[in-house]
Amino acid sequence: MKREAWMRWLVLALLTLHAAPLAAQDAVVQAGPVPGTYALLIGSNPGGQGQTALHHAQDDARKMAALLTELGHFPAAHTKLLLDPDKGTLLGALRELRSVLQAHRDKGEQAQLVFYYSGHARANALHLGNDELLVSELRARLLELPTTLTVIVMDACQSGAFSQVKGAAPTAAFSYNSVVGLQTQGVAVMASSSGSELSQESDALGGSYFTHNLIVGLRGAGDSDRNGIVSLSEAYHYAYDRTLSATARTAVGEQHVTLETALVGQGDVALTYPAEARAQLVLSSELQGDVLIEHSGSVLAELHKVKGSALPLALPAGAYTAVLRQPRGLFECDLTLRDGHATPLLPTACDAISDDEARTKGYLAAAPDSARPHEEWGFELGFGVSGFKRDAYTKRLTDFGFAEQILAEGSFLRLQIAASRQLAEHLSVLVDFRNYDAGHYRRDLQSTPEQEVIERFDWSTFALGAGLRAHTDPFGDALRLYAQLGVGLGLAHSKLGSHAEDYAGPVLAGAAGMFYMPWRTFGFVFQATYAYAPILRNELDEVHDSGNLALAIGLRYRTWSQP
């Protein structure tokens, strides 16, 4: 691999004996608890020279340690957590592990290890406070450990603004491609991003995008075959899909998780056993939409659930809040998970809340507007009726003997067509076309039993306009209330006998209404509009205002920023 950003690395190395390579195996090898299972996890927030301290490296290490002891068959006594260590402390811990693992090897026992690091890196070295540890040295120390099964998780990162950018300078470091040159059996390397991309962490999630999604996958969301075990390949595919989706709309850009394996004597390797959890939250088969699970102010899971099958998540017992975002709105559910029970999450047991209420509570922090699906385009077709203004212009017609033909040729029928584009959470821009009044007058020039001569005067007006629409969603995406203001160019065509004239004038319009969207893309529009449209003018400089109060009902189609 050419020069690459030394970002954060997730390295998983797994080994057993006497079977076919991973690519030729479909079975999941359940490692299970063994006497020589150990974990060493490091979280380092401080940055080196020119680096801003990370926000969540320690949090990621804590969460990974809790997951391994809870669902990964790692004894708590064999799980060691180091926070903000220096180089000497880290290397000392590796030396201690070497002697412990060697003792198991000498007894003919399996020796398994998980090594996790989350912190800063620049060029070809990790930053441990004021110290640097060369990647090449760390790699050598890890590969020489006498293990039969090794899991290495490395998360090297650097802060940014909205999304903290991880990895500063390009280097050929301990990347996923480095597996190819290793002579050690049973190595699998998963990296949080490709060599040309930057990895990111999120203040809203309280951790890195990749580690967050990996942990959610290992808690059961990644169990694609629903056998109660999350394997290496299942964890990879889940982390890949969710990390790519979560980072696609960040300022930094997409992040592609990568995996390289060189496993000999292995089927796919089990990493966690969510079916053995003492408490589970089950997302019901009928549930569909984005789900956010919060516990004690922290986001434990944020995922997209599809309809059709139940999805169990292994979580510690306790009180939780689930927030569901569905096409019909936003919903909040309070749950209590108990040991020995599987608690279902049912949409019917949730209360509807508004976006503003959810944001006040902090629920929407994990899904900022730039990353959440939101309405993008709207298209409306409506029909309605309006009144007809009588003014000096129409009075002048009666002075000349013309009589108004009420209800003639759809005088009161109105058509409106509009297209809108959402600019911000509560603001859209729109363009529209609508017709205004149509006048129909006649007078008798000659009326005898033998002959009737009639002169007609007719006009019709319409306008093209643009405007701004302010809207709110007090009951979720299914119901939107709005008010709008617009300006436009009004056009009128009049005809007196065989003589025709065209006119143009300004139009000002205000409207209020609501959209009712029982389906994700289709729904209904109800609108009241009042317009001022002084377009028609006679030779006496008298002007007719074609605007009035109009009521309309119609259909609406909308598109979304994400599928």
Domain count, the chain: 3
**The most confident of 280-294, 445-459, 477-491, by mean pLDDT:** 477-491
* 209-222 tens-digit pLDDT: 888 888 888 888 88
Residues 325 and 342: their CA atoms lie apart, in Å, by 23
For 228-237, letters b (16+ CB in 10 Å) and e give bbbbbbbbbb
Q: What does the angle CA 275 – CA 277 – CA 279 come to, to the nearest 5 degrees?
A: 115
Determine which helix (DSSP H) or strand (DSSP E) holds 394, and give its type and residue range: helix 392-399
Task: Report the chain's terminal Cα–Cα distance, integer Å.
Answer: 34
CATH code of the domain covering residue 297: 2.60.40.10
| Identity of residue 483 | A
Q: Worst-scoring range by mean pLDDT, 62-66, 85-89, 154-158, 438-442?
A: 154-158
Cβ atoms of 44 and 87 closer than 8 Å: no
Position 210 scores a pLDDT of 80
CATH number of the domain encompassing residue 446: 2.40.160.20
pLDDT confidence bin for 98, thresholds 50/70/90: very high
Model pLDDT, residue 301:
82
Taking the C-alpha atoms of residue 476 and residue 289, their distance in angstroms, rounded to an integer, is 13
For the ranges 2-16, 104-118, 141-155, the maximum mean pLDDT occurs at 104-118
More confident residue, 553 or 324: 553
Specify whether 458 is located in the same domain as 515.
yes
pLDDT tens-place string over residues 337-393: 888 888 888 777 788 877 666 665 656 544 444 444 567 899 999 999 888 888 899
Band (pLDDT 50/70/90 cuts) for residue 166 is very low
Strand bridging mode 298-305 / 289-295:
antiparallel
Residue 312 and residue 257 share a domain: no
**Are 304 and 231 in the same domain?**
no
Q: Does 17 have pLDDT greater than 50? A: no
Which amino acid makes up residue 105?
A: R
Q: Are residues 489 and 554 both part of a single domain?
A: yes
Per-residue pLDDT at 22: 31
Are 258 and 293 contained in the same domain?
Answer: no
Average pLDDT over residues 310-328: 85
- In this prediction the pTM is 0.55
Q: Which of 229, 252, 273 is the last residue of a domain?
A: 273
pLDDT > 60? residue 179: no
The answer on pLDDT for 514 being more than 70 is: yes
Question: Are 180 and 306 within one domain?
Answer: no
pLDDT digits (tens, 9 = 90+) for 524-554: 999 999 999 999 998 888 999 988 899 999 9
Same domain assignment for residues 138 and 285: no
Q: What residues are paired with 272 via a beta bridge? A: 230
Whether residues 255 and 286 share a domain: the answer is no
Domain of 146, CATH number, reads 3.40.50.1460
Whether pLDDT at 328 is above 90: no
Contact status, residue 193 vs residue 210, Cβ threshold 8 Å? yes
Tell me, yes or no, whether 343 and 229 share the same domain: no
Write down which residue in 366, 399, 415 finishes a domain. 366
The answer to whether 366 and 204 are in contact (CB under 8 A) is: yes
Mean of all residue pLDDT scores within the chain: 78
Across the range 513-527, mean pLDDT stands at 90
Which carries the bigger pLDDT value, residue 161 or residue 418? 418
Pair (285, 258) in one structural domain:
no
Percent of the chain with pLDDT over 70: 75
Residue of 206 and 275 predicted with greater confidence: 275
- Same domain as 111, residue 203: yes
Q: What is the dihedral of CA 199, 202, 205, 209, to 10 degrees?
A: -10
Sheet holding 28-29, edge to edge: 28-29, 268-272, 230-231
Domain end (from 273, 294, 313): 273
What is the C-alpha separation between 175 and 367, in angstroms, rounded?
Answer: 30
286 shares its domain with 234: no
By residue range, what is the domain housing residue 461? 375-560
**Whole-angstrom distance, CA of residue 215 vs CA of residue 213:** 5
